[in-house]
Structure formats: C-alpha cells, structure tokens
Amino acid sequence: MTWQDYLTPNKCNWCPGCGNFSIWSSFERAALKMGWNNSNTALVAGIGCHGHIVNFISLTTFEGLHGRPIPVASGLKMANHKLNVFVFTGDGDCLAEGGNHFIHAARRNQNITVIIHDNAVYGLTAGQTSPRSPKGFKSKSTPDGNIEEPLHPLRVALATGATFLARVYSGNIDECADILIKANKHDGLAVVQILQPCVTFNKEYSHIFYQENTYALGDDYDSTDKAAAFAKTMEWGEKQIPVGILYQVQEPSYESQIPQIKKQVLVATTIKKRNIDGILKKYL
C-alpha cells in the first residue's frame, strides 16, 4: 500500500489550519507503516469535526452518534478482537456526552485506542464551551467567561484504570504517528489526547500556544509510576504541558479474560442453529 491508497474521493472540508489535518496525516502515516487495512482494522468515530475523518480515510469505519463511539468500539472489539480498533472522538464527544462510557472504558481495559481530538471547544456547532475549555473562556455559550473548571481526560482515565496514557500536539506529525503506533501495540485501553487547535473558534489554544507551552517528558521519566503520572496530569499552563507517554503499565486486557474467545474470534465461524434440548430439560 502507498499513502494514496488511504485516500478517498472526498475532499477534506476542515477549516484551513485545523489540527485535524495533521491528525489525519499522522494516522495515515502510522497506518501505512503498520499495514493497517480493511482486513485487520476498523475505526469508530463520534460526531463533531473529528468525525468527518471517516470520509477521508479508506478504512472500514462506523460513524456513530455523538458521545457513543466507545461503546460501539467495545462491542466491535469483543466480537472480533483480532481487529485493530481505533476510536476517533472529540473533547465534547468523549468527555461531555460520552463521559460515562469513557470512564467505564478505562476500567474495562479493552485493547482499543481512543484518540481524543482535543480542541477545547465545540467546533461543529460553531463555537461553544467544551469540557476542555479553560476557566474564563469566552464563547457563544459563555459570553462572560466559562465558570467551570476544565476536565483533564488523562487524569480521569488514570483514576479509572486506563493502562496507557499519552498526550501529543497535533502539529508534531512524526511524534503523533509514533504514539498512535505505540498506543495500538499496547495490550489494553490506550488514551491519546491530541492537542489540536481550532483555528476558527478557539483563539486561546493556538498552534503557537501549543508549540510554546508543551514540553517532552525526559528519558528519566518513569512512565510506569502511577503517582508520577498523576502529578504530570496535574500540570497545565505556561510551559507546563507535558507531552509523550505519561503512563503505561501491563494489565490483562478485557478480551484476554473472556474464555469464549481464547481460541478464535467470536465471529470466526458461520452461525449455526444451536441445540438447546439439554437446557430445555431443566425446565421439565
């Protein structure tokens, strides 16, 4: 395959400068490197600007409802756990509408990669505050400034049991592609928070902002130390946004603990009518 093979006849319709372009590039770069194709991979997207990605990648996709890509991916993965399953979701999609699914996915530890397109604003509905918008953020829904504190998805995911947490700025395509590959290889739930500017509706978190305020975790950082990871998730602000793999530990994935799919995937065989006469006898 070449990168052209991942293209579709559709023209990208994100705003010029949107962080989604580089997420798209990073994902295709990772896909090409790893050979993700329609036999071994499926994507699930929610609703928001991020969800349009399904129209621009020639990989099997389920574009579901706002806030619900995680449960769709969950069912898909249980039914065919050999597939690489990626969730594309936004900060509104994942953390507002889909918050309940997000925390339960973290403790469920399925071998799924959740990619949060985090632009800290509602883009597709044209500029309202999101759970990621900073305090004081002025938007169409908070004209006098956001009163609520922002939610930190990695902190939440860490608290609820996720085993792989990474953060990356969308503009670093190489690093982003690399982290997506590592997240996919991780046997368990991987959350990748991609800091992605919304050039139209969020003037605070611009490309420049992320370029100036993110810093890479050093080689001496121990990503298996939960307390250290928790401290890192507390950091946010000027020159204080750590990027890289904040946390990674190996715990048995959900799928590895389902005996029915030890030998083969659930959908491996053709469905047959089952004989239930033995069970019926118990009701005599």
Partner 1 sequence: MKVFTFKIGGPAGTGITSAGLMFSKIAARSGYHVFDYMEYPSIIRGGHNVMQTSVSDEPIATQLQSTDFLVALNQETVDRHVGELTTTGIMLYDTDEKIVIKTMPIGATALGLPLHMLARSNTGSIIVINTIALGVSLYLLGGDLKYLQDLLDEQFAKKGEKVLQQNLDAASAGFKYAQDNFSQYVISRLTKRKKTLPALVINGNEAVALGAIAAGLQFASIYPMTPTSSILQILAPLQQEFGFIYKQPEDEISAINMAIGASFAGARAMTATSGGGFCLMSEGFGLAGMTETPIVIIIGQRPGPATGLPTWTEQGDLRFVLHAHQGDFPRLILAPGDVTEAFHLTMQAFNLADKYQTPVVILVDKQICENHESVSPFNYAKYRIDRGKFTTKKIANYKRYSLSADGISLRAPAGSGNHVIANSDEHTVFGYSSEESSVRQAQMEKRMQKLITCEQKDMPAPILYGPAKADLTIVSWGSNKGAILAALKECSRVNFLHLTWLNPFPTAMVTKILRQAKKVLNIEANYTGQLGGLITEKTGLVLEHNFLKYDGRPFYPEEIITKIKELL
Q: Please report, as ranges, the residues that interact with partner 1 according to CB under 8 A.
A: 8-10, 37-40, 42, 44, 47, 52, 54-55, 58-65, 68, 71-80, 82-83, 100-101, 104, 258-261, 266-267, 271-277, 279-280, 283-284
Q: Is 67 helix (H, G, I), strand (E, B) or coil?
A: coil
Determine the Cα–Cα distance for residues 105 and 71; give it in Å rounded to an integer. Answer: 8
Is the Cβ of residue 239 or residue 281 nearer to partner 1 in the bound state?
281
Is the Cβ of residue 82 or residue 138 nearer to partner 1 in the bound state?
82
Is the Cβ of residue 39 or residue 237 nearer to partner 1 in the bound state?
39
Rounded to the nearest 10 degrees, the angle between the axes of helix 173-185 and helix 19-34 is 50
Least distance (Å) from partner 1 to the CB of residue 284? Answer: 6
Least distance (Å) from partner 1 to the CB of residue 110? Answer: 10
CB 164 within 8 A of CB 191: yes
Is the Cβ of residue 9 or residue 16 nearer to partner 1 in the bound state?
9
Is the Cβ of residue 62 or residue 236 nearer to partner 1 in the bound state?
62
Is the Cβ of residue 81 or residue 232 nearer to partner 1 in the bound state?
81
> Which tokens go with 121?
């604003």
Least distance (Å) from partner 1 to the CB of residue 184? Answer: 16
CB 168 within 8 A of CB 158: no
Is the Cβ of residue 205 or residue 254 nearer to partner 1 in the bound state?
254
Least distance (Å) from partner 1 to the CB of residue 35? Answer: 13
Least distance (Å) from partner 1 to the CB of residue 49? Answer: 12
Q: Is the dihedral of CA 12, 93, 114, 205 positive or negative?
A: positive
Please state the φ and ψ torsions of residue 41, each to the nearest 5 degrees: -140, 145
CB 198 within 8 A of CB 123: yes
Least distance (Å) from partner 1 to the CB of residue 43? Answer: 9
CB 19 within 8 A of CB 171: yes
Least distance (Å) from partner 1 to the CB of residue 7? Answer: 12
CB 28 within 8 A of CB 63: no
Is the Cβ of residue 224 or residue 264 nearer to partner 1 in the bound state?
264
Q: How many CB atoms lie within 10 A of CB 264?
A: 11
Determine the Cα–Cα distance for residues 254 and 245; give it in Å rounded to an integer. Answer: 22
Least distance (Å) from partner 1 to the CB of residue 106? Answer: 11
How far apart, in Å, are the Cα atoms of 93 and each of 66, 101, 147, 262, 271? 6, 10, 20, 33, 35
Determine the Cα–Cα distance for residues 205 and 263; give it in Å rounded to an integer. Answer: 47
